[in-house]
């Protein structure tokens, strides 16, 4: 008798339960997902990405209720979750004593990062699976994050059981990562939620010293990251022969790419990683990028661009 094919979300949940790796769409960027409770499955993430084991993963769940079974939420953490979940915010909180997320996913720390994503297909997967899904961005460590299913396939080929196609990621930047300890909130990573939006809810945020490369408060904040193969030159207004220009706003009519011809930062964020990848695919002498204002989402865009351009490590 022929079996009825599973719905995509159910297939993904079944693959996760088997301990396989799955490419998953989220509103920020695509994730490389595995069952966060199975160390063998989580180990496959580190191996596939070439990710250092000291860099912990974000566990994704369907709801705040599911998150509270894993992490300890102070009133401030709960307030932030209510304000921004589902959405592009990861909260780093103390682990519950009986936290089901394996030590490997937390890199041995006594805190863990939790996120409730809003992408409807990802929500379906999380509800069908019923357990936390560890998922870093689905790129080889140090490369630009993927914002389409094709990016994920290009990066990992047939190493994945399946890649669920949920269309281009609407936000295009990874989640903002905020550590909450009691009534203190520290911004560990800028992301697809602006500092202003966060501070409107929680007041002034503390900022982690990510420049302390030896032991940054968020182990993922090593400088070189998001980097294409080609060198990247920032704040440029024109390209030399052999270089590829990524413009922003008006005045870049001859440029190969423009993050947002109308100068909108949300559009620029959504286009950023895809354009870095597309520019890189042309094997240029350099990718040159127009100035982008550092206000609102521009702050996180500037952070990603600075890391893409860094050649120091």
Binding site for Mg ion (CB under 5 A): 137
137 binds ligand TXA (CB under 6 A): yes
Residue 248 tokens read as: 């922003």
123 binds ligand TXA (CB under 6 A): no
Which among ligand TXA, Mg ion, none contacts residue 260 (Cβ within 5 to 8 A by kind)?
A: none
3-state class of 139 per DSSP? coil
Q: Which is nearer to ligand TXA, 33 or 284 (CB)?
A: 33
Which among Mg ion, ligand TXA, none contacts residue 303 (Cβ within 5 to 8 A by kind)?
A: none
Which among ligand TXA, Mg ion, none contacts residue 95 (Cβ within 5 to 8 A by kind)?
A: none
113 binds ligand TXA (CB under 6 A): yes
210 binds ligand TXA (CB under 6 A): no
115 binds ligand TXA (CB under 6 A): yes
Indicate the burial class of 5 (C-beta count within 10 angstroms; 0-12, 13-18, 19 or more).
exposed
How distant, in Å, are the alpha carbons of 4, 84, 240 from that of 175? Answer: 36, 11, 34
3-state class of 23 per DSSP? strand
Give 76's contacts (C-beta < 8 A, 6+ positions apart). 180, 182, 183, 184, 185, 202
- Tell me which of 10, 17, 43, 55 binds ligand TXA, using CB under 6 A: 55
92 binds ligand TXA (CB under 6 A): yes
- Tell me which of 22, 28, 85, 164 binds ligand TXA, using CB under 6 A: 28
Which among Mg ion, ligand TXA, none contacts residue 31 (Cβ within 5 to 8 A by kind)?
A: ligand TXA
148 binds ligand TXA (CB under 6 A): no
166 binds ligand TXA (CB under 6 A): no
219 binds ligand TXA (CB under 6 A): yes
What is the Cα–Cα distance from 129 to 142, expressed in whole angstroms?
29
In this structure, the number of other CB atoms found within 10 A of the CB of residue 197 comes to: 16
22 binds ligand TXA (CB under 6 A): no
What is the Cα–Cα distance from 77 to 75, expressed in whole angstroms?
6
What is the Cα–Cα distance from 78 to 73, expressed in whole angstroms?
6
Angle in degrees, CA 58, 64, 67, rounded to 5: 45
Strand partners, 90: 177
90 binds ligand TXA (CB under 6 A): yes
What is the Cα–Cα distance from 280 to 288, expressed in whole angstroms?
11
- Which residues in this chain contact ligand TXA in the complex, by CB under 6 A? 26, 28-29, 31, 55-58, 90, 92, 106, 109, 111-113, 115, 135-137, 174-175, 177, 188-189, 218-221
């Amino acid at each position: 008798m022929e079996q009825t094919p599973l719905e995509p979300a159910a297939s993904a949940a079944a693959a996760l339960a088997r301990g396989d790796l799955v490419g998953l769409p989220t509103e920020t960027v695509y994730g490389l997902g595995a069952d966060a409770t199975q160390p063998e499955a989580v180990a496959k993430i580190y191996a596939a990405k070439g990710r250092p084991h000291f860099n912990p993963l974000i566990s994704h769940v369907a709801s705040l209720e599911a998150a509270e079974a894993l992490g300890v939420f102070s009133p401030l953490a709960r307030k932030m979750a209510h304000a921004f979940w589902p959405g592009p915010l990861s909260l780093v909180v103390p682990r519950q004593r009986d936290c089901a997320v394996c030590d490997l996913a937390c890199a041995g720390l006594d805190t863990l990062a939790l996120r409730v994503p809003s992408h409807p297909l990802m929500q379906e997967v999380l509800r069908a699976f019923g357990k936390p899904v560890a998922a870093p961005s689905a790129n080889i460590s140090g490369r630009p994050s993927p914002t389409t299913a094709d990016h994920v396939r290009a990066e990992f080929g047939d190493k994945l059981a399946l890649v669920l196609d949920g269309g281009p990621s609407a936000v295009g930047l990874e989640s903002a990562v905020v550590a909450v300890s009691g009534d203190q909130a520290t911004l560990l990573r800028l992301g697809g939620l602006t500092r202003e939006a966060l501070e409107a809810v929680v007041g002034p945020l503390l900022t982690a010293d990510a420049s302390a490369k030896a032991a940054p408060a968020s182990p993922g904040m090593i400088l070189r990251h998001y980097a294409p193969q080609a060198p990247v030159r920032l704040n440029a207004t024109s390209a030399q022969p052999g270089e590829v220009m990524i413009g922003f706003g008006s005045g870049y009519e001859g440029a190969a790419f423009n993050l947002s011809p109308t100068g909108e930062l949300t559009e620029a964020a959504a286009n950023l990683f895809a354009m870095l990848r597309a520019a890189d695919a042309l094997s240029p002498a350099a990718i040159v990028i127009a100035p982008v204002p550092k206000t609102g989402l521009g702050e996180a865009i500037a952070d990603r661009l600075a890391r893409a351009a860094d050649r120091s490590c």
